[in-house]
Structure 1
């Protein structure tokens, strides 16, 4: 009788281990490796009243290991006149997370720091979007700008998008 119980216990353990192995090895959500792709640095010189303002922007798309995507932009500037009479009246970055040129997240960032100091750097980080779909994700955007007290109105600087992930 003792031998029979041992065999039943061994069989039950074998079934439990096989079932556990199946659960552990079956993914519930397809995970992709983290990745980031960035555009080259994009430059524009603005003819402000003081020294000409040089702005540099890099757009990036990022995928985390747990399936979240987001766009971000690194913005640096130098040689700005600064102040209300020499800098920018308006400097707004539009940042978009796209997949195959369709917008998934679209945000505007008023970058008043560009007018507040003659040089600096900021990172504008867009909201996250979760997706199990891979391929075709990019960051894109543009800048709306207006030079303070020049009487000429503003303009739009269209930025080149990032490579896709």
Structure 2
């Protein structure tokens, strides 16, 4: 009988501790602040770019980086004609061993948005790195760059716009 009386308070204490401590839930994504850049286009409306970088962990435990690129004209009256000979966005999934350590590229993918950028003056396009399995011992982030070759300006590909990486996901 005494065993029964001791078991009930212990079971109640274990149940209360279980209720008081919610299960640990890891973050499923981290996104950085939006980044902006104006592309000066000769003899037509300039183009405002807005880019967001996120690192995601899906329900299957796979990680990937995504760069979402938005563009729109600065004035509608000049929004005519071909804009680019080339317009590419690179998405990189990177990792670190410590929060202050160096970034290492895990997966990288370049998306060619030339056709859609020339077709639409206002649009959104997503570029996604490849997937990789989650490793909880590492710190993960999304990074990337945007590069363009303006139509008929005679300058070729411009230096890439290096983006600021997302916050770390751990």
TMscore range, shorter length: 0.7 to 0.9
TM-score, normalization by structure 1: 0.74
Contact 1:41/1:56 (<8 A) preserved: yes
TM-score, normalization by structure 2: 0.72
Instruction: Name 2:37's counterpart in structure 1.
Output: 44
2:87 aligned with 1:94, yes or no? no
Q: 2:67 aligns with which of 64, 73, 82?
A: 73
Q: CA deviation at 1:150?
A: 1.0
Task: Supply the distance in 1 between the matched residues of 2:153 and 2:52 (Cα, whole angstroms).
Answer: 27
Q: 1:147 aligns with which of 150, 153, 159?
A: 150
Q: CA deviation at 1:133?
A: 2.8
Task: Supply the distance in 1 between the matched residues of 2:106 and 2:85 (Cα, whole angstroms).
Answer: 29
Q: CA-to-partner distance for each residue in 1:112-145, whole Å, 9 max, x for gaps?
A: 2122111111222222101333441000011121
Structure 1 residue runs of 5 or longer lacking an equivalent are 1-30
Alignment of 1:48-127 (within 5 A): 48-49=41-42, 50-79=44-73, 81=79, 83-84=81-82, 87-100=83-96, 101-112=103-114, 113-127=116-130
Structure 1 ranges of 4+ moved more than 4 A: none
Q: CA deviation at 1:83?
A: 3.4
Structure 2 residue runs of 5 or longer lacking an equivalent are 1-23, 97-102
Contact 2:53/2:68 (<8 A) preserved: yes
